[in-house]
């Protein structure tokens, strides 16, 4: 039992050492994302301005992003809206349900944003890479 | 005779003969022609102003015996006129030339009383040339004026006049009266007058004949007014008896003549070519000259073979009485075919194209006085026998067997009326017959005809009278019985509203073909017409009423593929004045049919006892706008379209009005109907539906822009609906100007939503548009999604006890269902299922056939978890451990996705957020709990109850992400989070944030169901529920959770939380 306690103490100290370290994170500018991006048949559009997005209850919600997948026979004019912002390397996208205006948040970690490529990763390690269309 | 007497007489005779012989010889010796001629010529110079010449004068006894005569031969009278008198007229100088002039005198009176009594005047071979100039100067004024200045005594008829003979033979005379414009030429005139007047008793004869008499008369302008030429004129007049009882005869014959008056020939060639005399008069007469009364008895006046027999009494007027007449007349049979050519052509021009014949007879009387105000009353009867008439320009058939009998009373007196009775007028044409009877009143004034026409007519024989534009063929036999009463003015003006007409037309074996399109047949149809109308509506004055009844009627309209059979039809209509072009045609009708069977294309209909009324009244100021009233009932109606649809109604009632305005945009706006409709006990069988739609009752009122549904009971399979409310804007909806709006209460004991969606799919979107969308979206034909009606805005206030939707059974629904312009929204403020209060807002939108939006906002309050999983199995997929709990929870779900035409979700569009809140949930004793309890070393007595559960999750495309939530049990506090894809690959994280263990422990659950693996993992949430210690990421996570929950709970209505099911 004493031996087990020593092991646990050692593990706790090691954990504390790791916890004390903080990784440096790059800052990304939202302007870098503005534009239309595509991955396969999936399109994402990040706007610099907000647009009134109609909700079936009759109201509107301002959004500054749209996504659609032509592989599912969805055109840009039929795209679904979302709100997005960038803080540091955190890309937060809040999808707005047309039904009631309910919010569906998604958070990603930006890996790189170049004029031609956008890459981010979700909290489960899945990486998404897009190329700029315009 | 005694001898002595005989001897005496012979002696006396011889003596007389001797004396006569001596006298004659003495005359011849004393009055020789030369001596007498000289005497006469000397006397003529004294008594005749013009040049005269007597070639020979001689005495004669033999020509004038027993009177002595003076015979003058070759008498010439020459009296030339100056050209200034003749003014260019062709006038010979010889006034007269007589071949012989003989004058006889009574010798005895001359010798006894010295009286010269002329007893005979004989003229032979006379040529005369009489002239009267334009100023009245004549060439026969040849005697010197009388020198006797004593006043002449009034003329008195001598007591005795004895003219044995006045004779003119072979007189040729030209009479030229320039002043009066008359010229006459008489050729070969023979005239003989014998007469005696003695003791107020006459005995006279006159004979006259001429080979030719020509008369020409001109008016003051020189235009010829008369040109008559009479050939072989002969006249004999004989009279005898006292003036109070003078009897005689007048006979006149004229074989040929020509009479032209004002350019019109009154005697035709045909008349002159007749074998009988052109004019022949044979008139026995008697007269009482004292009372001036005249009579003719059995007189005949004949124009060729046309004879008028006359027996008449007449008394001339004097100061105390008017002229009176009492006459009877009759004709022989006049053949019209022979009579018409006898008449002047100008009078018969109308008959040029006619072939007409028949035997006319006229008889009658004329009785009465002739004054300024009265005329004899004439009663006449005209009969026509065996006549025929042909005029192809009027009637394409020969009218045969024309027989007529007309009696007339002509009252020409002032204020009198002349009437006629048509006893009968019958005729036949082809196999048709017509009979006319009636009265004609005041024929010469305001003629009033009261007639009855009966007949039997084959309809094909009327084809000639159908308008050419109307390609109509009609077969059948019509029986007419029509009465008409109208004045001539009314007939001329076609003033139908003032006429009285009634009658029936009964048609047997009717077979009508109009333009080879509309065909109708009936064994018997009866039409009754009445003017003025039998009854009047309050809306307008009906001029005509007509009633059509028929036992059976079959009709086809080929162009529309319509076929109909009517049994016992009875239609009665009233029509306004059709001749009054100042007002539009107005119609009111009632109809009643025992049974109507009709087909149109694939539509078959049977109507039992349809009856009703119909009224059409155009606006007087604007006839294009018409007001209609309609009432319709039938006891049963059966309608079938192929095998796809059949409707069976026990009763249908429609009543209301409409106002037609052709200037409006669409058919509903044009008609503006205001109708009350009542369906009763209907059954609708639609092939696509596996059940019969029952309509126990539908009652609604439709007004412009608004339809008020009083009640509508419909049984749809197992579903039953009761609708009431209003639908508005149908007119503008049809014109695509506005949406169709409805606000209806929808009550149901049971409703199957799946059945409803199948029926309502695509309503309001025309088939072409849908098909075009299908082609553009490349949608397979097998796909048949429900298309939400476009251009409609309906709200259903539902009260449903039990409902089945997408396989789920729900109860006690109360809320609204709205369908607006392609979007269907189920907005239930609450309903109760087995274990919860629920609020559901579902949206179904069909912007494209292959792009259909489905949205769900679902709130279950205080629901049993197991019922929740049963009700929404997908919840178990989203929250797999939920099936391990029991108890009540609040569940909120908002999800949406687009689906394709096969209802397959487009995963890229799937979005969803959900929140689950539970307290005191019991963990079921199942395999998962066992694994956890063993792994976590739970106490054996630990209750399987968790204090609270607070789960938020999202669905994005194929990812289901569960935000960290805490579960407290025993001495453990566990936080779980993770994500799984809809392909069942899991990546979850379980972390013990509080336990008896010295260190925290985290486990990752990875893999694909059901093969999940567990492994130790790094702790993530140790400080999350310690506000003072949580980091930015954990703060953000909690903010996200709060955002999700807040956005979900914001849609829960207060009513839902208090909802306790449907209340009555």
Q: Which residue of A has its CA nearest to B827?
A: A57
| Residue B852: pLDDT over 80 | yes
Q: Establish if A76 touches chain B: CB-CB under 8 angstroms.
A: no
B785 φ, ψ to 5°? -75, 160
Flag whether residue B1048 sits within 8 Å of chain A, measured between CB atoms. Answer: yes
8 Å CB contact between B466 and B472: yes
Residue B599 confidence (pLDDT) above 60: yes
Q: Residue B990 has which token pair? A: 């379980």
Confidence of residue B986 (pLDDT cuts 50, 70, 90): confident
| The two three-digit tokens of residue A22, written as one number | 């903080």
- Put simply, the answer to whether B1036 touches A107 (Cβ < 8 Å) is yes
> pLDDT tens-digit profile of B427-450?
998 889 999 999 999 888 888 999
Cα separation, B1025 vs B237, whole angstroms: 162
pLDDT greater than 90 at residue A67: yes
Closest CA to B955 of B1033, B888, B877: B877
In this predicted structure, the answer to whether residue A76 has a pLDDT above a threshold of 90 is yes
Residue B320, pLDDT > 90, answer no
Say how far apart CA B159 and CA B23 lie, in whole Å.
Answer: 32
Of B18-22, B158-162, B666-670, B803-807, the range with the lowest mean pLDDT is B18-22
List all residues 6 or more positions away from B929 whose beta carbon is below 8 Å from its beta carbon.
Answer: B884, B923, B944
Average pLDDT over residues B562-588: 83
Give every CB contact of residue B370 below 8 A, 6+ residues apart in sequence.
B317, B322, B323, B324, B325, B376
Confidence check: pLDDT of B897 > 90: yes
Residues B640, B614 contacting (CB under 8 angstroms): no
The half-sphere exposure of B1005 on its side-chain side, counting CA atoms within 13 A, is: 22
Query: Mutation test of the interface with chain B: which of A99, A101, A108, choosing the one with the most B Cβ atoms within 10 A?
Result: A99
Please tell me if residue A104 touches chain B, with a CB cutoff of 8 Å. Answer: yes
The rounded distance, in Å, linking the Cα atoms of B492 and B483 is: 18
Where residue B784 falls among pLDDT bands split at 50, 70, 90? confident
Cβ contacts below 8 Å, chain A against chain B, sum to 98
Q: Do the chains contact at B898 and A99, CB–CB below 8 Å?
A: no
pLDDT digits (tens, 9 = 90+) for B258-279: 999 888 888 888 888 888 889 9
Closest C-alpha among B928, B917, B911 to residue B988: B928
The first and second tokens of residue B284, run together, are 């026995």
Contact of B958 with chain A, judged by CB distance below 8 Å, is answered with no
Nearest to A78 by CA among A64, A67, A65, A62: A67
Give the contacts of B658 (CB within 8 A, at least 6 positions apart): B627, B628, B630, B671, B672, B673, B674, B675
Host H or E run for residue B7: helix B3-30
Binning pLDDT at 50, 70 and 90, where does residue B695 land? confident
Instruction: For residues B87-108, give the mean pLDDT.
Output: 85
pLDDT digits (tens, 9 = 90+) for B197-210: 777 788 888 899 99
Q: What's the mean per-residue pLDDT of chain B?
A: 84
Q: Does residue B195 carry a pLDDT above 90?
A: no
pLDDT of the residue at B762: 53
Residue range A47-68: average pLDDT? 93
Residue B1030 forms contact with A (CB below 8 Å): no
On the question of pLDDT at B811 being above 80, the answer is no
- CB-based contact B370:B412 (threshold 8 Å): no
Helix (H, G, I), strand (E, B) or coil at B333: coil
Mean pLDDT of B34-55: 82
**DSSP character at residue A97:** P
Lowest-confidence range among B77-91, B215-229, B334-348, B555-569? B77-91
Nearest CB among B855, B908, B1051 relative to A42 is that of: B908
pLDDT of residue B154: 67
CA dist list (Å): B880 to B120, B926, B931, B962, B1035:
166, 13, 15, 11, 26
CB–CB contact A104 B912 (8 Å) = yes
Q: In this complex, which of A71, A92, A104 lies closest to B911 when CB atoms are compared?
A: A104
Confidence of residue A22 (pLDDT cuts 50, 70, 90): very low
Encode pLDDT of B123-149 as tens digits.
999 999 999 988 888 888 888 776 667
In this structure, are residues B58 and B102 in contact, taking their beta carbons and an 8 Å threshold? no
Q: What percent of chain B has pLDDT over 70?
A: 89
Q: How confident is the model at residue B874 (pLDDT cuts 50, 70, 90)?
A: low
pLDDT digit string, tens, across residues B906-940: 999 999 999 988 887 877 655 666 666 676 666 66
Q: Which pLDDT score is estimated for B169?
A: 93
- Asked if the C-beta of B825 comes within 8 angstroms of chain A's C-beta atoms, the answer is yes
What integer pLDDT is reported at residue A7 of this predicted model? 46
* Selection from B228-237, B346-355, B858-867 with the highest mean pLDDT: B228-237
> Which range, A50-64, B98-112, B806-820, B994-1008, is most confident?
A50-64
DSSP B1022: T
A25–B contact, CB cutoff 8 A: no
Most confidently predicted of B293-302, B768-777, B867-876 = B293-302
> Counting beta carbons within 10 angstroms of the beta carbon of residue B914, is it exposed (0 to 12), middle (13 to 18) or buried (19 or more)?
buried
> Kind of pairing, strands B256-261 and B625-634?
unpaired
**Which pLDDT score is estimated for A10?**
47
Tell me if B956 and A98 make a contact (CB, 8 A cut-off).
no
Instruction: Quote the tokens at residue B661.
Output: 């305005």
Closest CA to B698 of B681, B684, B683: B681
CA quadruple B832, B834, B837, B841: dihedral sign? negative
What pLDDT does B797 receive?
87
Per-residue confidence at B22, pLDDT binned at 50, 70, 90? low
Pairing of strands B985-994, B1001-1008: antiparallel
Question: Are the CB atoms for B102 and B64 separated by under 8 Å?
Answer: yes
Cα distances (Å, whole numbers) of residue B404 to B139, B157, B199, B338 = 60, 54, 55, 18
> By CB neighbour count within 10 A (0-12 exposed, 13-18 middle, 19+ buried), where does B1013 fall?
exposed
pLDDT for residue A19: 42
Average pLDDT over residues B384-390: 92
Residue of B379 and B621 predicted with greater confidence: B379
pLDDT at B237 over 60: yes
Nearest residue, CB atoms, A100 vs list B823, B894, B956:
B894
Residues B632-680 have pLDDT tens digits of 998 888 888 887 788 888 889 999 998 888 887 777 778 888 999 998 8
Mean of per-residue pLDDT scores for chain A: 84
Q: Please state the rounded mean pLDDT for residues B161-171.
A: 84
**pLDDT tens digits along B728-765:** 888 887 777 888 888 999 899 998 877 776 666 555 55
Nearest-neighbour CA in chain A from B962: distance (Å): 11
C-alpha distances in Å from residue B877, one per residue of B10, B186, B926: 184, 143, 17
What is the mean predicted confidence (pLDDT) over B980-995? 84
Q: Is B2 helix (H, G, I), strand (E, B) or coil?
A: coil
| DSSP letter assigned to residue B764 | T
Please, which residues have CB within 8 angstroms of residue B258's CB and are 6 or more apart in sequence? B227, B228, B229, B265, B267, B272
Mean pLDDT over B239-249 rounds to: 88
Query: Cβ neighbours of residue B968 under 8 Å, at least 6 residues apart?
Result: B946, B947, B948, B974
Burial of B551 (C-beta count, 10 Å sphere; 0-12/13-18/19+): middle
A127 touches chain B (CB under 8 A): no
Are B836 and B850 in contact, with CB atoms under 8 Å apart? no
Would you call A77 an interface residue with chain B, using a CB distance cutoff of 8 Å?
Answer: no
Q: What is the pTM of this model?
A: 0.62
pLDDT for the residue A109: 94
Residue B549, strand partner residues: B526, B570
Q: Using 50, 70 and 90 to split pLDDT, how confident is the model at A20? A: very low
Picking from B855, B979, B1051, the nearest residue to A98 by CB comes out as B855
**pLDDT of the residue at B687:** 78
Closest-CA residue of A relative to B1043 is A103
Cβ atoms of B410 and B445 within 8 Å: the answer is no
What's the pLDDT band for A14 if we cut at 50, 70, 90?
Answer: very low
Q: Which residues contact B859 (CB under 8 A, 6 or more apart)?
A: B838, B839, B840, B890, B891, B892, B893, B1048, B1051, B1052, B1056
- Of residues B323, B310, B297, the one with CA closest to residue B365: B310
Q: Which of A69, A71, A100 minimises the CB distance to B1051?
A: A100
Q: Which residue of B855, B987, B999 is in closest CB contact with A99?
A: B855
Residues in a beta bridge with B45: none
């Amino acid at each position: 039992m004493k031996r087990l306690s020593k092991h646990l103490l050692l593990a706790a100290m090691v954990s504390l050492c790791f916890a004390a370290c903080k990784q440096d994170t790059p800052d990304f500018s939202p302007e870098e994302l503005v534009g239309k991006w595509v991955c396969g048949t999936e399109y994402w559009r990040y706007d610099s301005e907000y647009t009134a997005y109609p909700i079936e209850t009759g109201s509107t919600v301002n959004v500054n992003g749209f996504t659609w997948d032509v592989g599912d026979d969805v055109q840009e004019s039929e795209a679904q809206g979302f709100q997005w912002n960038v803080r540091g390397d955190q890309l937060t996208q809040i999808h707005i349900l047309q039904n009631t205006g309910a919010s569906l948040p998604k958070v990603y970690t930006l890996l790189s944003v170049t004029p031609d490529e956008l890459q981010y990763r979700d909290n489960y390690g899945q990486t998404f890479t897009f190329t700029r269309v315009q | 005779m005694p001898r002595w007497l005989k001897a005496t007489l012979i002696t006396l005779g011889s003596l007389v003969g001797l004396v006569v012989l001596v006298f004659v010889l003495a005359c011849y010796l004393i009055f020789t022609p030369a001596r007498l001629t000289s005497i006469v010529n000397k006397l003529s110079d004294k008594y005749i102003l013009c040049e005269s010449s007597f070639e020979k004068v001689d005495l004669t006894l033999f020509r004038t015996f027993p009177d002595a005569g003076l015979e003058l031969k070759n008498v010439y009278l020459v009296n030339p006129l100056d050209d200034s008198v003749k003014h260019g007229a062709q006038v010979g100088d010889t006034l007269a030339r007589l071949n012989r002039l003989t004058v006889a005198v009574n010798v005895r009176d001359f010798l006894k009383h010295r009286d010269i009594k002329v007893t005979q005047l004989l003229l032979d071979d006379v040529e005369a040339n009489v002239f009267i100039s334009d100023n009245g100067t004549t060439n026969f004024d040849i005697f010197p004026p009388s020198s006797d200045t004593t006043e002449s005594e009034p003329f008195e008829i001598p007591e005795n006049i004895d003219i044995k003979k006045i004779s003119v033979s072979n007189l040729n005379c030209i009479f030229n009266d320039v002043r009066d414009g008359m010229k006459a030429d008489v050729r070969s005139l023979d005239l003989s007058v014998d007469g005696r007047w003695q003791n107020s008793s006459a005995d006279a004869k006159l004979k006259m004949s001429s080979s030719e008499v020509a008369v020409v008369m001109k008016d003051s302008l020189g235009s010829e007014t008369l040109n008559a030429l009479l050939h072989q004129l002969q006249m004999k007049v004989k009279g005898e008896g006292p003036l109070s009882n003078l009897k005689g005869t007048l006979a006149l014959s004229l074989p040929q003549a020509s009479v032209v008056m004002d350019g019109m020939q009154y005697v035709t060639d045909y008349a002159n070519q007749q074998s009988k005399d052109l004019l022949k008069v044979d008139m026995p007469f008697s007269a009482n000259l004292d009372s001036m009364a005249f009579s003719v008895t059995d007189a005949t006046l004949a124009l060729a073979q046309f004879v008028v027999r006359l027996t008449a009494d007449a008394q001339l007027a004097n100061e105390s009485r008017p002229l009176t007449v009492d006459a009877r007349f009759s004709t022989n049979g006049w053949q019209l075919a022979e009579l018409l050519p006898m008449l002047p052509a100008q009078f018969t021009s109308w008959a040029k194209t006619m072939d007409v014949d028949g035997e006319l007879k006229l008889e009658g009387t004329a009785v009465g006085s002739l004054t300024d105000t009265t005329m004899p009353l004439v009663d006449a009867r005209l009969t026509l026998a065996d006549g025929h008439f042909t005029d192809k320009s009027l009637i394409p058939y020969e009218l045969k067997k024309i027989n007529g009998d007309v009696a007339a009373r002509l009252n020409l007196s002032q204020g009198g009326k002349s009437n006629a009775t048509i006893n009968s007028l019958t005729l036949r044409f082809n196999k048709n017959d017509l009979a006319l009877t009636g009265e004609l009143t005041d024929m010469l004034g305001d003629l009033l005809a009261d007639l009855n026409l009966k007949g039997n007519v084959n309809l094909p024989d009327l084809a000639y009278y159908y308008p050419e534009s109307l390609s109509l063929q009609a077969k059948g036999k019509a029986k007419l019985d029509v009465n008409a009463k109208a004045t001539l003015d009314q007939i001329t003006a076609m003033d139908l509203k003032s006429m009285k007409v009634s009658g029936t037309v009964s048609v047997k074996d009717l077979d009508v073909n109009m333009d080879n399109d509309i065909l109708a047949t009936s064994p018997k149809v009866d039409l009754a017409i009445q003017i003025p109308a039998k009854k009047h509506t309050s809306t307008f004055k009906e001029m005509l009423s007509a009633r059509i009844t028929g036992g059976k009627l079959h009709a086809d309209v080929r162009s529309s593929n319509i076929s109909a059979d009517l049994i016992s039809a009875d239609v009665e209509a009233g029509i306004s004045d059709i001749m009054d072009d100042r007002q539009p045609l107005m119609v009111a009708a009632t109809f009643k049919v025992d049974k109507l069977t009709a087909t149109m294309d694939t539509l078959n209909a049977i109507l039992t006892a349809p009856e009703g009324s119909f009224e059409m009244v155009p606006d007087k100021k604007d006839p294009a706008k018409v007001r209609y009233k309609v009432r319709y009932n039938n006891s049963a109606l059966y309608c079938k379209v192929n095998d796809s649809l059949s409707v069976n109604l026990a009763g249908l009632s429609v009543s209301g009005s409409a106002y037609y305005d052709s200037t409006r945009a669409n058919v509903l706006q044009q008609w503006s109907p205001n109708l009350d409709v009542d369906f009763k006990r209907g059954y609708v069988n639609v092939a696509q539906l596996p059940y019969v739609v029952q309509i126990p009752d539908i009652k609604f009122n439709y007004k412009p822009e608004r339809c008020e549904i009083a009640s509508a009971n419909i049984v749809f399979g197992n579903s039953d609906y009761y609708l009431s409310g209003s639908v508005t804007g149908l007119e503008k909806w049809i014109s695509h100007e506005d949406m169709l709006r409805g606000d209806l209460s929808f009550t149901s004991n049971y409703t199957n939503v799946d059945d409803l969606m199948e029926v309502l799919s695509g309503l309001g979107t025309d088939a072409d548009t849908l098909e075009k969308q299908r082609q553009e979206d490349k949608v397979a034909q097998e796909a048949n999604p429900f298309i939400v009606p476009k251009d409609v805005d309906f709200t259903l206030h539902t009260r449903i006890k039990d409902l089945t939707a997408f396989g789920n059974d729900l109860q006690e629904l109360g809320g609204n269902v709205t369908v607006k312009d392609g979007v269907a929204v189920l907005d239930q403020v609450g309903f109760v299922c087995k274990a919860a209060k629920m609020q559901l807002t579902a949206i179904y939108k069909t912007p494209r056939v292959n792009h259909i939006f489905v949205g769900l906002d679902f709130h279950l309050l205080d629901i049993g978890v197991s019922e929740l999983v049963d009700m929404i199995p997908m919840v178990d997929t989203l929250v797999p451990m939920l099936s391990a709990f029991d108890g009540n929870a609040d569940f909120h779900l908002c999800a949406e996705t687009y689906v394709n035409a096969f209802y397959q979700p487009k995963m890229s569009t799937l979005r969803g957020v959900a929140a689950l809140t539970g307290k005191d949930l019991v963990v079921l004793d199942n395999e998962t709990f066992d694994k956890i309890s063993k792994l976590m070393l739970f106490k054996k007595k630990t209750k399987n109850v968790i204090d609270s559960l607070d789960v938020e999750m999202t669905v994005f495309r194929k990812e289901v992400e569960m935000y960290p939530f805490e579960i407290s049990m025993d001495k453990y506090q566990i936080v779980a989070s993770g994500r799984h894809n809809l392909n069942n690959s899991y990546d979850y994280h379980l972390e013990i944030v509080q336990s008896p263990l010295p260190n925290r422990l985290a486990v990752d659950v990875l893999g694909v169901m059901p093969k999940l693996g567990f492994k130790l993992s790094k702790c993530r949430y140790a400080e999350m529920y310690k506000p003072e210690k949580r980091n930015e990421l954990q703060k953000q996570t909690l903010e996200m959770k709060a955002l999700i929950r807040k956005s979900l709970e914001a849609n829960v209505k207060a009513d839902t939380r208090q909802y306790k099911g449907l209340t009555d």
